[in-house]
Structure 1
Amino acid sequence: MNAQKTATGDTNSFEFRGGLRTMSAALQKEMVLALSIWDDHEADMLWLDSDYPLNASVTAPGVARGPCSATSGDPKTVESIQPGASVIFWNIKTRPIGSTFTA
């Protein structure tokens, strides 16, 4: 992951927060599952499925991340089109890995 962040010029926030060592320590403790619907006022969700960062060439490694336009995730637009957006999460199971289904 560190090499990818270096190659793409992305901020390595995972490593900044302690990386795998911190994540491993956290997973040893009890956790609460939290799910939400959200939009991104910092990067307009472009990091997920568009060209990001906007100030980099789309031919640079890691910039072209998906087919969405650079204006597709603007929170003001999203919130004005879907002001009452909601989500329902259901059929969530918590058990040891591999025990909630049969292959």
Structure 2
Amino acid sequence: MDGARAIADPVRREILELLHASPLPAGRIAEHFPISRPAVSKHLRILIECGVVEAELVGRQRIYRLRPEPLAEVAAYLNRLLGPSLPSRLDALVTEVARARRDRRTEANNPKEQSA
């Protein structure tokens, strides 16, 4: 699961967030970090190896862009660990609200059953 390796380091996670916003050259990415450009380049190389970033040569610059597809495997794994997703929980809530409304309508239409 190379996506897990890609997000294992906080610098790489921040690089992914930057590239999520827009493709960037290495120099612009490096401006966001207090570490050396060679260190940023090493992180970019790891992200490319993991398949979550691709580089395109445009003129003399390499432009880096996010490839989120490999991260889907990590997301699916985490979803399995974290249990049901929010939409399924919301579906259960909708069912309970509908049941409560139905029960109130039944009680309103049959007041004799309430006093018994």
TM-score using structure 1 length: 0.20
Greater Rg by CA = 2
Higher relative contact order (CA 8 A, sep 6+): 2
- TM-score, normalization: structure 2? 0.19
- Choose between structure 1 and 2: higher helix proportion: 2
Greater strand share, structure number: 2
